[in-house]
Structure 1
Amino acid sequence: MTYCEDDPKLFDRNLESTQEFLRTMAAFQAFYAPLHGYICVVLCVFGFSSNFIHVIVLTRQSMRGSAVNSIMTAVALCDMGTMASYLIYICHFVLKGKSATNCSNGLTYLSMSFLLFHMFLSITLHTTTLWLAVAMAFLRRMTLHTTVLHSQWQRSRLAKKISLVVFFTVMLFSLPTLLVHRIVEYEADVWRPKPSCVQFYEANYSETIFTMAIAPAAMQNGCMWFKANLWLTGTLFKVIPCVLLIVLISSLLLKLKNAEQKRRLLLLNGGVGNDTNKRITSDKTTVMLLAILGVFLITEFPQGILSILSAVYTNDVHNLIYFMLGDVLDLLSLMNSSVNFVLYCLMSSRYRHTFCKTVLPLAWFRCCRRRQTRPNVALFTNTDLPSRIQNVEVCLTPDGRRRSSPAFRTVREPLLSQVRLPLSARASRT
């Protein structure tokens, strides 16, 4: 299909290497296409369920005060909408359309109206999640940059306002997608029932088939408006947020490296305390956030490159690459929308505790809680107190204050409260 006249060519189809590349992609598409629908159904069901649980956990009182968690809640809500819409699309147009028992016309005007709405909704929601990832990285970078304990960058209210602004802004810029497409009647053919379904219809029964087409106004002047929409989608929706993610991820990694160097200096100098514990917790949050942002970048950046190529080489990219690799691109987007819950569970003990407390049955939660707390309880029992006291290095500072070595500072308070200093030490203090 020719979208734009006099469009530059991306591939020289006379070259043997190009023909081999196209044959390889066609073979891959023929192999993967029958599996795509079923894989996507599993991903959509898992992704919708996991994001629903994700929202429940992140909105608990112990979790919702964080700006990052508030944005992750908005991301999960957008992913739920994407999954629900794509599940309906894949069931109706892919699984039902190819089913041998299907006796209805799947290309009605109502079906095409849903397809147009699905296209607009999926672009809006998925782009919103990408820009929210950028906002999340920026808020984390500003939080690490400031020295105030409870800065404005950590406030949940600010994150909620940012989420709303991002959503409505993206929705506004997604409207041209609706304007450059329209639903038209497919005049080359009509729908007729299959031989196995003719008993349900009148003789010689047929229905009109509808399809999606580019609006004639968008195709004028060398596809100016159609290409403008492709440039908008490729740059503002993909490339720019991906570039910002690269910059912010690099900045967070540098900040993480500097924090690790400072911590090592503090350990060498014996200056370990509550501030260091806070830094460790902060660094764990940063590492988890980097993993989430990395998934966004890996899945979205290739699509951004293809979007730019489609704006320049519209005919070749749409007829060859998108036709053969479109299912893979959809799969990457669905995987991106499903992975946040898994990453949170793997990397955040606080999230796992809240998840067990909120979602799991009470008996399971108690069992899980006993397993988590038993080693800590055993650490401070009186039965092995003498053996643990021997491992604590107790000394005095020049002004007579008691000090313990950094390696055992975590057990200092519960142990030394039951230990009497030697008489010589007590005499020196008096």
Structure 2
Amino acid sequence: MSCHFLHLSVQNEVKSLNLICIIILKDESIYTMSYCEKTPIFTGEYENCSSSFPDQCPPEKIFFDDFYENFRTTHKRLCLFLCFIGIFMNAMTMLILTRPAMRSIPNCLLTMISAVFNSVLLLGCDFTLMVSYQIYLIRASQLIHYDCPADEFSFAWAIFTIIHVNLSVLSKAASMWLSVLLAVYRFLLLKSTENMGTPFHDLQKNIKLTICALLGSILLLASPIFVSNDIDSKPVPQSALGLCPNGTIFHELAVHPFTMAYDCFLFKYNFWTVGLVFKFLPSLLLANFLTKIVHFMYKNERKRANKFRRTSHHLEKYENGAAATTNNRNKITQRTTKLLILILSSTLICELPCAFSTIFAGFKSNFNVFVYRNLGDVFETLSLLNGLVTFPLYCFMSSGFRKTFSDTFYRAQRKNNDHQQRHRTLSSTKRCNMQMKNRHNSSFDARKAIIIEDNK
């Protein structure tokens, strides 16, 4: 994995800084590199800088270290809350977007059926990441106490950590590139409606194939990352012998030996693939297409305003004739485009700082040592916040989404009420039938008794 490995004499802390897994093994007195000592990315001028030698640290190093220590406790609790809320919100959004009604309303029609499929995939990435990250946080936040330190670093937990890191890489990379794809297809759709040259069905015909090719490319590029991690098994340290049974094995993450071969080629490949291809490049493309979409909308607004001024004497005909339908369709298109702009802008705002920081960390070693490592919690929080915005934006800006949401849950509640009502009606009918049968039997017995008495 694209990881920094630093020696530890006190504790080791496994962190997933958004896309880049950084395994930080901290020593309170000194930072020393265990691998890739000659790699420019991870060497700095202040190698002896630490809390034990503050006079060798620049002011910015002390500032960011203090910020990290103060924010880390709040970050864990905040991320647990964000994951819990985000899982619920993304599950609700995926449920509504997959309803048949969403594929028939004008909002979904104008954003293309395949774009909804794209949105569901995008939300699915956030949902998967939040579930995995919440499990990781519950364990890493020390909410579960272990008497033996080896229980905290079991083989099963090491396997889960590797899966979590790899899943984070795939989820966030897919999320970023699907956002770019969504912006590209929205821009092409707007251009096709302006030029009347490309039919609507031609734009959506190959969308599923494009998505599959995109996800396959991400999986192929990320495949070296998956095999870069290893699990190192060793006896429990001397300090924990009294707490653990004899023969207890301590499992921790390690880098696979071939990752450091050929002048750390695979190590550098992982770093630049994650930072450049999975973060920086999609951020630039997303910013480019968002700018084009906003410019296109502004230009169309001016054209439409000029057209309305020129045809003001035909306003009544326009409002009552077929042109009114076109006007309504344009309004729906604008509203849908604005919704997508807000969703994609939130993605850009939350992910762009991490993208630039990753690139700076690759070129500026001091930036990596002082800033990038200490802002990892901030990048994680922004990434989780980005996964929360889709549901409230859809609820606020899409009447079709609100209607489908209401119909879905109201129908479920109504079915439950109808079932209960039918059960009550059936029970009442059965009781009435039993009462009538009892009355009939009582009346029959009475008449029979009278006949017997008369015969006597």
**TM-score (norm: length of structure 1):** 0.74
In the alignment, the residues of structure 2 paired with residue 184 and residue 315 of structure 1 have an alpha-carbon distance, to the nearest angstrom, of: 30
In the alignment, the residues of structure 1 paired with residue 180 and residue 69 of structure 2 have an alpha-carbon distance, to the nearest angstrom, of: 36
Where does residue 254 of structure 1 map in the other structure? 295
Return the match for 2:398 from 335, 339, 348.
348
Where does residue 134 of structure 2 map in the other structure? 87
Residue 293 of structure 1 aligns to a residue whose secondary structure is helix
**Native 8 Å contact 2:148 2:240 kept in 1:** no
In the alignment, the residues of structure 2 paired with residue 107 and residue 44 of structure 1 have an alpha-carbon distance, to the nearest angstrom, of: 23
Alignment gaps of 5+ in structure 1:
365-430
2:75 maps to 1:42: no
Structure number with greater CO (CA < 8 Å, separation at least 6) is 2
Where does residue 136 of structure 1 map in the other structure? 182
2:214 maps to 1:163: no
Where does residue 30 of structure 1 map in the other structure? 69
Deviation per residue, 1:402-427 (Å, 9 max, x gap) = xxxxxxxxxxxxxxxxxxxxxxxxxx
Where does residue 176 of structure 1 map in the other structure? 224
2:167 maps to 1:121: yes
- Structure 1 pair 228/103, CA: closer, same or farther in 2 (3 Å)? closer
Residue type at the aligned position of 1:220: A
| Shift, 1:236, TM fit | 1.1
Q: Counterparts in 2 of 1:186-265, with a 5 A limit?
A: 189=237, 192=240, 205=246, 207-265=248-306
Residue type at the aligned position of 1:295: S
| Shift, 1:179, TM fit | 2.2
In the alignment, the residues of structure 1 paired with residue 364 and residue 264 of structure 2 have an alpha-carbon distance, to the nearest angstrom, of: 12
**Native 8 Å contact 1:176 1:229 kept in 2:** yes
Residue type at the aligned position of 1:275: T
What number of residue pairs does the alignment pair up? 354
- Structure 1 pair 267/313, CA: closer, same or farther in 2 (3 Å)? same
Where does residue 124 of structure 2 map in the other structure? 77
In the alignment, the residues of structure 1 paired with residue 119 and residue 295 of structure 2 have an alpha-carbon distance, to the nearest angstrom, of: 23
Residue type at the aligned position of 1:211: E
**Native 8 Å contact 1:120 1:175 kept in 2:** no
Residue 338 of structure 1 aligns to a residue whose secondary structure is coil
**Native 8 Å contact 1:112 1:183 kept in 2:** yes
Where does residue 5 of structure 1 map in the other structure? 37
Where does residue 335 of structure 1 map in the other structure? 385
In the alignment, the residues of structure 1 paired with residue 190 and residue 56 of structure 2 have an alpha-carbon distance, to the nearest angstrom, of: 50
In the alignment, the residues of structure 2 paired with residue 135 and residue 226 of structure 1 have an alpha-carbon distance, to the nearest angstrom, of: 29
Deviation per residue, 1:262-282 (Å, 9 max, x gap) = 221132122653222211211
Deviation per residue, 1:259-307 (Å, 9 max, x gap) = 1102211321226532222112111111111111111111112222232
Of the structure 1 ranges 32-41 and 99-108, higher mean CA displacement relative to structure 2 is found in: 99-108
| Shift, 1:252, TM fit | 0.2
Over the matched positions of the two proteins, sequence identity in percent amounts to 25
**Native 8 Å contact 1:234 1:308 kept in 2:** yes
In the alignment, the residues of structure 2 paired with residue 141 and residue 162 of structure 1 have an alpha-carbon distance, to the nearest angstrom, of: 16
**Native 8 Å contact 2:150 2:251 kept in 1:** no
**Native 8 Å contact 2:44 2:366 kept in 1:** no
In the alignment, the residues of structure 2 paired with residue 217 and residue 336 of structure 1 have an alpha-carbon distance, to the nearest angstrom, of: 36
**Native 8 Å contact 1:44 1:84 kept in 2:** yes
Return the match for 2:90 from 44, 51, 62.
51
**Native 8 Å contact 1:89 1:115 kept in 2:** yes
**Native 8 Å contact 1:192 1:207 kept in 2:** no
In the alignment, the residues of structure 2 paired with residue 164 and residue 172 of structure 1 have an alpha-carbon distance, to the nearest angstrom, of: 12
In the alignment, the residues of structure 1 paired with residue 227 and residue 119 of structure 2 have an alpha-carbon distance, to the nearest angstrom, of: 31
| Shift, 1:12, TM fit | 4.3
**Native 8 Å contact 2:260 2:267 kept in 1:** yes
In the alignment, the residues of structure 2 paired with residue 261 and residue 21 of structure 1 have an alpha-carbon distance, to the nearest angstrom, of: 48
**Native 8 Å contact 1:230 1:310 kept in 2:** no
- Structure 1 pair 10/292, CA: closer, same or farther in 2 (3 Å)? farther
Say which one has the larger Rg.
Answer: 2
**TM-score (norm: length of structure 2):** 0.70
Where does residue 375 of structure 2 map in the other structure? 325
| Shift, 1:49, TM fit | 0.9
2:358 maps to 1:307: yes
| Shift, 1:246, TM fit | 1.3
| Shift, 1:188, TM fit | 8.2
Deviation per residue, 1:56-107 (Å, 9 max, x gap) = 110111213533222111111111111111111111222336x478887111
Return the match for 1:289 from 340, 352, 360.
340
Deviation per residue, 1:115-134 (Å, 9 max, x gap) = 11111111101111111111
Residue 95 of structure 1 aligns to a residue whose secondary structure is coil
| Shift, 1:34, TM fit | 1.4
In the alignment, the residues of structure 1 paired with residue 173 and residue 238 of structure 2 have an alpha-carbon distance, to the nearest angstrom, of: 36
Residue 326 of structure 2 aligns to a residue whose secondary structure is helix
In the alignment, the residues of structure 2 paired with residue 172 and residue 353 of structure 1 have an alpha-carbon distance, to the nearest angstrom, of: 40
In the alignment, the residues of structure 2 paired with residue 295 and residue 181 of structure 1 have an alpha-carbon distance, to the nearest angstrom, of: 32
Of the structure 1 ranges 2-11 and 172-181, higher mean CA displacement relative to structure 2 is found in: 2-11
In the alignment, the residues of structure 2 paired with residue 104 and residue 177 of structure 1 have an alpha-carbon distance, to the nearest angstrom, of: 26
Residue 247 of structure 1 aligns to a residue whose secondary structure is helix
Where does residue 386 of structure 1 map in the other structure? none
Residue type at the aligned position of 2:201: Q
Residue type at the aligned position of 2:332: T
- Structure 1 pair 191/325, CA: closer, same or farther in 2 (3 Å)? farther
Return the match for 2:200 from 145, 151, 163.
151
- Structure 1 pair 144/316, CA: closer, same or farther in 2 (3 Å)? closer
Residue type at the aligned position of 1:219: M
**Native 8 Å contact 2:86 2:388 kept in 1:** yes
Residue 74 of structure 2 aligns to a residue whose secondary structure is helix
